[in-house]
Amino acid sequence: MPKVNKELLTNHFGPVSDFLSECWSQLRRQSRQNVLAGRVHLGAALSGRDTTGVQKTVSGLIKLMSPNPETPVADEVLEWALRLALECRRRVKEQQKRIGSAEFRNTQFSYSMGADGVEKFVATPELYSENSIGSDPLPPGQVWVISAGGGDENPGLYQIDISEGPGGGVKILNQPAPPAFRESVRFAEQNLYARANELVGDREPRQHEFSIQLRAFDSARSGSAVGVGVLLALCSSLLQKSIKGGLAVTGGLNLGGSIETIFNPVSVVETAIEKGAASILMPIGSRRQLNDLPDDLAAKITIHYYLDARDALLKALSV
């Protein structure tokens, strides 16, 4: 658009509307959908109509940001437009889901950049409470965990957040770290080293440094008996794969890899339902006690039982 001067002005509109209209008209005849080819892969939850809507929205945003079709589009600009397009499309689907349309149930929209990119999910966080388990998958390395409680402490909701980088060892960012949580981290770390081949394949965890943060969302603060959740978060971070959305993990580990007994599994499941979990991962040893779970609560949550840490990881990534 040329520099604004008197010749472009009228006494009522400012910039001549016909000129701007012609700009939009010229851009409308073009498409930028080709910038997505080979650079972006959309998740399986998007239907054909969703994909078309997202592509057209990205095309429109790119045209506004880069009107010249010969100008290369940077990855960060493309990802910005893509995330905005996915979020807009998801909001449409969320509204359709609220009015009860069976067609619009799965709104876990995701994408990855490049052939080997990490799958990322687009969330609408204001639709959920901060201290509840949402249906969206968390980024790799993050897991919702419910402790078994014990003593004077009730079961509690935590989020474990782990980031990894080059180096070695495990560092707890909480200062001071609760002793019970520090023990859970130590057990999970040793199990990861000892069983790395069956948990993470050819990746070498000793060549990575893990930074761990524990976030508590209610009165429980000790982080006791959350070793399985910590181990799954370590594996998720190393594999760069997200744990399934709406899933709560429970269970403690010992140094030998055995799963600790949960003495109050009904209370743990009740807490998971209260916090909004759609499913929960429980040790197989809790199955008989959960027969006492009231029918109205059993209908609100799906319980997945696991035999050992590897079984828990496989189910957490696939349920």
Query: What's the pLDDT at 134?
Result: 81
Mean pLDDT throughout 297-313? 94
Residues 156 and 250 in one domain: yes
Query: What's the pLDDT at 254?
Result: 92
Interaxial angle between packed helices 309-318 and 227-239, expressed in degrees from 0 to 180 and rounded to the nearest 10: 60
What confidence tier does 238 reach under pLDDT thresholds 50, 70, 90? very high
Residue 121 lies in a domain: no
CB 255 within 8 A of CB 187: yes
Residues 187 and 295 in one domain: yes
Residue 9 lies in a domain: no
Best CA proximity match to 240, nearest among 125, 116, 144, 146 = 116
Residue 4 lies in a domain: no
Mean pLDDT throughout 144-167? 88
Residues 89 and 180 in one domain: no
Q: How many residues in the chain?
A: 319
Mean pLDDT throughout 109-115? 84
Residues 153 and 245 in one domain: yes
Residues 180 and 276 in one domain: yes
**Last residue of one domain, picked from the residues 66, 85, 113:** 113
Residue 19 lies in a domain: no
Q: Does pLDDT of 20 surpass 90?
A: no
What confidence tier does 68 reach under pLDDT thresholds 50, 70, 90? confident
Residues 256 and 218 in one domain: yes
What confidence tier does 171 reach under pLDDT thresholds 50, 70, 90? very high
Query: What's the pLDDT at 292?
Result: 86
pLDDT in tens, 145-156: 999 876 678 899
Q: How many domains does the chain have?
A: 2
Higher per-residue pLDDT: 225 or 126: 225
CB 189 within 8 A of CB 160: no
3-state helix, strand, coil in the chain (%, to 5): 40, 20, 40
CB 212 within 8 A of CB 171: yes
**Residue 158 structural domain:** 128-318
Q: Does pLDDT of 5 surpass 80?
A: no
Residue 23 lies in a domain: no
Burial of 279-318, coded b for 16+ CB within 10 Å and e otherwise, reads bbbbbeebeebbeebeeeeeeebebbbbebbebbbebbbe
Residues 297 and 161 in one domain: yes
First to last CA, the chain: 53
Q: Does pLDDT of 1 surpass 60?
A: no
**Last residue of one domain, picked from the residues 113, 143, 175:** 113
Mean pLDDT throughout 29-54? 88
Residues 72 and 138 in one domain: no
Query: What's the pLDDT at 127?
Result: 55
Residues 207 and 101 in one domain: no
Residues 92 and 225 in one domain: no
Query: What's the pLDDT at 122?
Result: 82
The rounded mean pLDDT for the chain is 86
Q: Hey, what long-range contacts does 112-117 have (CB within 8 A, 24 or more apart)?
A: 112/40, 112/41, 112/43, 113/39, 113/40, 113/75, 113/78, 113/79, 114/39, 115/41, 117/41
CB atoms within 10 A of CB 124: 14
Query: What's the pLDDT at 105?
Result: 55
Residue 35 lies in a domain: yes
**Last residue of one domain, picked from the residues 113, 138, 172:** 113
Residues 88 and 234 in one domain: no
Q: Does pLDDT of 183 surpass 70?
A: yes
Residue 13 lies in a domain: no
Query: What's the pLDDT at 102?
Result: 42
> What is the CATH number for 187?
3.30.230.10
Residue 266 lies in a domain: yes
Residues 204 and 287 in one domain: yes
